[in-house]
Chains A and B, each alone.
Chain A
Amino acid sequence: MMTAVLEKQATKDNIILGMKKAMSEYDIAALTKKEGKVLFDYIDDVNKIELEYTPTVLSPKKFFFPQEEVILEYTMEGKVQAKINYRKMVLFGVRPCDITGIQILDEAFAESNGDPNYLTKRENSVIIGIDCNSVCDENAFCYKVNSQYPDGGFDIMLHDLGNSYAMTIATDKGETFAEQYFDSGKVDSEAMEEFLRVKEHAFVKAGGPFEELENLPEIFAENEHHPIWESEAERCLSCGSCIMVCPTCYCFDVIDELALSMKIGDRLRRWDACMLRSFAEVAGGENFREEVKNRVKHRINRKFNFLMKKHGKSVCVGCGRCVRSCLADISPVTIVEALTKTSKQMRLAEKNNELYLPVKAFIRKIVQFTEKEKFFELELENGKSLNHQPGQFILLSIFGIGEAAISISSPPSFGNRFDIVVRAVGDVTNKLHTLEEGDFVFIRGPFGHGFDESIQRKMEGKHILFIAGGIGYVPLRSLINFTLKQKEDYGRISILYGCKSPEDRMYKDELDYISTIGGNVTLLETVDTADKSWLKNTGVITSLIPMVKFHPENTLAVVCGPPVMYKFVIKTLNDQGLSNENIYVSLERRMKCGVGKCGHCQLDDIYVCQEGPVFRFSDIEDKEEAL
């Protein structure tokens, strides 16, 4: 149960000391080494706790749902009693993926018929997690199912700040425990922010969530007969390993064991696995899931379809254990991605009845940026995230007025909300400027080809030169913020921004902040005209370019601004030795449909709304209409 989240901090030594003290009241289970392997086990000495994570064969679910447990004891004379074994325990050092797993099991065992054996063990346990700020190995894919940010399933979460741990205390149980055993003080919020930044960077860099994570139940339902089921089944050994190691599998078998005396006995439950051939076999020998294909399908569907619908999130937590343990290299990732790809293709191939159907979005925040430009934060009514790339755009409608193409200015993975900055220059934008927070508009998109992963990859390690003129900062802002977040991935980041006057600058606070970052980040600004209070450069934007020292072979320029700006900027860049292969531009065109049909945005044979608006300049330099 989540209560108000408390944040505290204690030194690592103090935490370990606290665990030692807690041994008088609790059994402690933690990550530890035993006979050459790393596993979660009960410990008798806190010095045996391993703080660094190595993936374990089994998840800590075994403490609450053991491999085998007695549920009844009976005598042949007919006496019977229910049996629940539990220890008052602290489970220390569980990682986010496994915590998400425990959270799912908590729901599964609590729903409809509350399972006393599981729930009693849980009630008597305190869970102390240790947060991850990197992906543990190449098989883990927590970031694809967002399990690296658990919102429950723990009492205390520790975040590694070097010599100390910041603590997120999520429950009353956790608060009591921390008070009793840890000497905690105030959180070093700067260090904590840095931890979270490093964490976010690591997981974003690893690849981010599955493309259509929220739609997986529908995608799985659509792909009942996908050929991948057949091809994976061909390799599958039906060995059951994937199930044994899964932190969220909870099927079991019930077995009667009579003692050799033949007078007393136990009824016990033992982990079972739907991947095993006998799992669905009934007494008559009929097997309802005889084919390997159907078993593979059932297993994966439980994670991303059947149970995902029930729990409202992926029941696979991406811990990677099944991938590590599968000798036949069967991975949920491969399957999910193949099905997603097929579903997307099916949608493309099919008539899309919703092509022109916009969805409702509420205006959550408005900021007047300049005289003509306003900032809007929007939220889709359906609660989904926009899921866009930097550089993409949306079509915004106001019924009765019409639709207009608008760049998205917030970086990806910004949660459910996204930002736009709109200059009031046409009917739709003028009307938009009259709306207030809480009003709604309609949205289609995201559309177009932005700065996708392949461009992002090309940017890594390079000196990135952002050149923005006027409102051209808005389409680039998404990418700029994206790169600033992980600035150590790039050689240098230079942002060159020019406006007519200081009053026309967008995101003034943000620009001021960027100018203070330092390190490998430089911001140069210029305005055409200004009074004496303006201390930065004056003059056209091209005048800033020679002020940046760059090696043409190791530099990549990204340019966006009013049409007139491009020719001069590109010429100056070329003069400095930068080739057109290393220049990216975001083009502005008139767009009506956004889906490559209406023809307004066409540049020779190219639909800018589909293949653009972001282009590598060398790809379009020969086209007369390009600039």
Chain B
Amino acid sequence: MSETITIGVNHITRVEGHGNIKVDVQNGEVKECKLEIVEAPRFFEAMLEGRHYSEAAIITSRICGICSVGHQLASVRATEDAFGIELTKQNHQLKTLLDMGQYFESHVLHVYFLAVPDFVGAPSVFPLVATHKDVVLSALKLKKLGHDIGEMIGGRLVHPISMIPGGFTHMPTVKKLEEILNRIQDAKEELKNGVKLVSSLTLPDFERETEYISMYRDGEYAFIDGNIFSSDRGEISYKDYRKVTNEYLVPHSTAKRAKFSRHSYMVGALARFNNNYKYLSDDAKQAAEDLGLKPKYYNPYMNTVAQLVELIHIVDNSTEIINDMLAKGIKNEKPVIPELKECAGVGAVEVPRGILFHEYTYDKNGFITKANCIIPTAQNLQNIEDDMNDMVPDSIKKRTKEELTLDLEMLVRAYDPCISCSCHLLDVEFVNE
């Protein structure tokens, strides 16, 4: 490949939202290598101002369709934190199950529909209907399970209905839980095939150690309710999330960026895997081994693989939760009605793409005076750009422009970025072409 190239991918595909990749290499020297976020600004923080506490989750859910469960969880947790509402065990279980439903849907969508086509050289999942029908059907079935778990708990998976601050307005029936439990067992077999499929694929060989940030809770692979954990610094209170995220703006992105101990950090499946490995279920650990994944793993392309490992863990964890609920019986708990007061609270939740924070300040009548939402993809953006800058000078010597373009697109996709959330991402643009 020539020493002078420019790459420009506008509107990167198979990611959620709109973003571009821009690379400018002059005489072997990387002049520019950046990830532009061109999603239209949506002003959610401003729209939240003056809204009633009961509407916060409804509004923030619409930040992103794929992450709507995550936003609702973070929003509801922030409001509950503000008003001092403690979660009952059942409420915690329902929220975790809802989160897991989303993981299922989102990870399956990412692994099978968005990432796998790259590895088999297809532009999308649709041509695979002809060539790999069994894989597509298996993926559809798995995705439907995630969707149905979400529907069982939240009424629907995209913009759920039943979760409100203080509890749930609708309880799953025993019959439904039993049905889902059976399907989760079947899913495990399907996922084993997925492990076989993915272990046969070759991922780009690229490593860069970075700071890994995730949620941490003693004794479990944390999804909701826990503190922040940094691979560099250890545990930090969730209330101090601002000390970790340190948001700042760059001119080429409508999404804000974040940094903590280093120039950038990574959140998401690989960060969770690296930080919480010991709490994975035995079968998930086994799958990780089969897939050649061990902590600490520094290849960002392996984020997709870590997602698959997480799917196995979720099968085991959700089975445990549902069995416990069935054994104890489902209580018809009415949502707690908060006592209004001037207050503020933080909700931190692990969602498929990483740790998500919402923070609200309420006036004495329960209306929002200030809101802040920090999205996983926004936290990852600088890390992706740093990966690109690390990779490109070496790669331009070995790879063709087309290969490099694909490498970069795949890198961005590996992070499973959600640009609607961060605000929207993807197209690689090579300047001076």
Contact = CB atoms under 8 A, between A and B. Distances in A.
**Direct A/B contact, Cβ within 8 angstroms:** yes
B185 interface: no
A35 B168 CA distance: 13
A36 B332 CA distance: 9
Nearest to A36: B332
B50 to A, nearest CB: 27
A393 to B, nearest CB: 60
**Cβ-closest 4 pairs across A and B:** A36-B332, A35-B173, A35-B170, A35-B171
Interface of B: 170-171, 173, 332
A396 B170 CA distance: 68
Nearest to B173: A35
4 contacts: A35-B170, A35-B171, A35-B173, A36-B332
A156 B378 CA distance: 69
A82 B15 CA distance: 49
A465 B170 CA distance: 59
Contacts of B170: 35
Interface string A8-46: 000000000000000000000000000110000000000
Contacts of B171: 35
A35 B171 CA distance: 8
Interface of A: 35-36
A38 to B, nearest CB: 15
Nearest to B170: A35
B161 to A, nearest CB: 14
A333 B173 CA distance: 40
Contacts of A35: 170-171, 173
Interface residues of chain A: helix, strand, loop or mixed (majority): loop
A39 to B, nearest CB: 15
A49 B170 CA distance: 23
A335 B123 CA distance: 67
B236 to A, nearest CB: 42
Contacts of B332: 36
Nearest to A35: B173
B154 to A, nearest CB: 15
Nearest to B332: A36
A36 B170 CA distance: 10
A449 B170 CA distance: 57
A36 B171 CA distance: 10
A249 to B, nearest CB: 29
A35 B173 CA distance: 8
A107 B244 CA distance: 74
B78 to A, nearest CB: 29
A414 to B, nearest CB: 50
A511 B173 CA distance: 63
Contacts of A36: 332
Nearest to B171: A35
Nearest to A34: B173
B190 to A, nearest CB: 25
B178 to A, nearest CB: 15
A257 B173 CA distance: 31
Contacts of B173: 35
B185 to A, nearest CB: 25
A205 to B, nearest CB: 37
A35 B332 CA distance: 10
A35 B176 CA distance: 12
A87 B94 CA distance: 38
B153 to A, nearest CB: 14
B378 to A, nearest CB: 40
B184 to A, nearest CB: 23
A35 to B, nearest CB: 7
A483 to B, nearest CB: 47
B140 to A, nearest CB: 16
B385 to A, nearest CB: 44
A487 B170 CA distance: 48
A623 B212 CA distance: 104
A35 B172 CA distance: 9
B262 to A, nearest CB: 51
A35 B170 CA distance: 8
A375 B45 CA distance: 88
B117 to A, nearest CB: 25
A35 B175 CA distance: 12
B155 to A, nearest CB: 12
A33 to B, nearest CB: 11
A34 to B, nearest CB: 9
A58 B257 CA distance: 54
A36 B168 CA distance: 14
A268 to B, nearest CB: 25
A45 to B, nearest CB: 13
A36 B173 CA distance: 11
B151 to A, nearest CB: 15
B146 to A, nearest CB: 23
A627 B170 CA distance: 72
A385 B332 CA distance: 53
B127 to A, nearest CB: 21
B349 to A, nearest CB: 28
A74 B73 CA distance: 47
A362 B170 CA distance: 65
A559 to B, nearest CB: 59
A502 B152 CA distance: 81
A456 to B, nearest CB: 44
A224 B59 CA distance: 48
A36 B334 CA distance: 12
A36 B330 CA distance: 13
B169 to A, nearest CB: 10
A249 B171 CA distance: 33
B171 to A, nearest CB: 8
A24 to B, nearest CB: 23
B302 to A, nearest CB: 39
A485 B331 CA distance: 48
A328 B14 CA distance: 49
A198 to B, nearest CB: 35
A67 B332 CA distance: 29
A411 B171 CA distance: 55
A401 B170 CA distance: 78
A35 B152 CA distance: 13
A597 B170 CA distance: 69
B131 to A, nearest CB: 23
A35 B330 CA distance: 12
A115 B433 CA distance: 74
A54 to B, nearest CB: 17
